[in-house]
Amino acid sequence: MRSGVAAVALGLALVTTGCTMEANPVVRQVAQNPVTPIVLEIVKGGLVKLATSAGAQNPPVAAIALAGVWGVSELEKKVAEIRKEAGAAEPDTTLLLINQTIDGTVRTSVFKISTGRKLSVALNGRFVQEIEPRRISITAEPGTDSTIVVSDAKAGEAVFISRTLAMGSGDRSYADLETGRDNKVKRDDRSADLRVDGGGGLTTVNGAWAAKWTSTDTPSLAGCGSLPEASWTTVLYPEEPPVEVYKDVWCLRSGDGRYGTFAWGGGIAGWPDQWKLAYVLWKKADDK
C-alpha cells in the first residue's frame, strides 16, 4: 500500500558573492533552519499518522512525507528505491521507519524528513538513537497507544549569517565574516576576519581564529565551542594549498566572538589564488 502526503522541504538559499554556486554540503546542512517539532501518534492499534489529538503542535505544513507502508519482504527494496529517487535533488533526506505489528503482521511506515540537520526522536518519552546515517528505526509496542516526537537536536543554534566568500588577490584579499563583505575590505579595517596573502595562503586577522574540524559529525556550535584552545590557530594554510585541502572543514571564531564553520565552496578555472569559502556564523547569546 502506498500513500502520499504533501510535504514542503526545508529550504536553504546560501547567498553568494560574485557568482551563484552550490554551497559545500557540510555548510549547507549547518545553515538549514531548525526543524519545527513533528508529532506522530499510534491510536487504537492503527497505523502511525501525524497527530490530530488535542494539544498536538504540528505546524500546518511539516517537513515530512509518508513514502509508503510495506511488509518485511518489500521494505529494503523500497527504501533503496526511495534513496535512489531522492538522489541529488534531496541529498539530506532522513528516513524514519516505524515498525508495527498489526494483526500478527509486521508493517513498516516509512517517512521522509526533508532536512540534513541532526534529529532527536522520542517514542513515549524514550529517545531513539540514529543507528545508520540518515535512517532512524523505531519499533512500537503492539496494542499500545504511542506518541512519537521528532525534533531538532540542535534547535538552540541560530544562524547569524551564511554566505559564500570569493577571496583572492587585490580587492578580494580581506573578508568580514559578520557582514559577508569580501570586496574592497581595507587592510586596516578592524572588521576584517580573513586574509589571503600574496602567496595564496589563508590566515585569520583582528582576533579571529580557526580550528580544523576532524570529527565525522556535522560541525555544531557546541562542538566548535568545546575544542581545546590548542586547536585554534591564525594560520590555516601558509601558502597556496594542494587540491586535497578542499575536503577540509574548519571551525571559526570571529573577531567579534561568534562561532561558525566553513569549508571550500568551489573554485574558478584559471584562478589558482581564488578561494571560495562557504561559511556559517551562529548567533551569540546577546544577538537578537
Burial class (CB within 10 angstroms; exposed 0-12, middle 13-18, buried 19+) of 170: exposed
Question: Taking Cα atoms as reference points, which of 258, 265, 266, 34 lies closest to residue 161?
Answer: 258
Q: Is the pLDDT of residue 271 over 80?
A: no
Distance CA 50, CA 150 (A): 11
Distance CA 92, CA 126 (A): 25
Across 205-267, where does the E strand assignment appear?
A: 209-212, 235-237, 249-253, 259-266
| Percentage above 70 pLDDT, the chain | 76
What pTM does this model have?
0.58
Report pLDDT digits (tens) over 157-193: 788 999 988 888 888 899 999 999 999 998 777 889 9
Summary mean pLDDT of the chain = 78
Q: Is the pLDDT of residue 78 over 50?
A: yes
DSSP state of 287: -
Q: Is the pLDDT of residue 56 over 80?
A: no
Rounded mean pLDDT of 81-89? Answer: 81
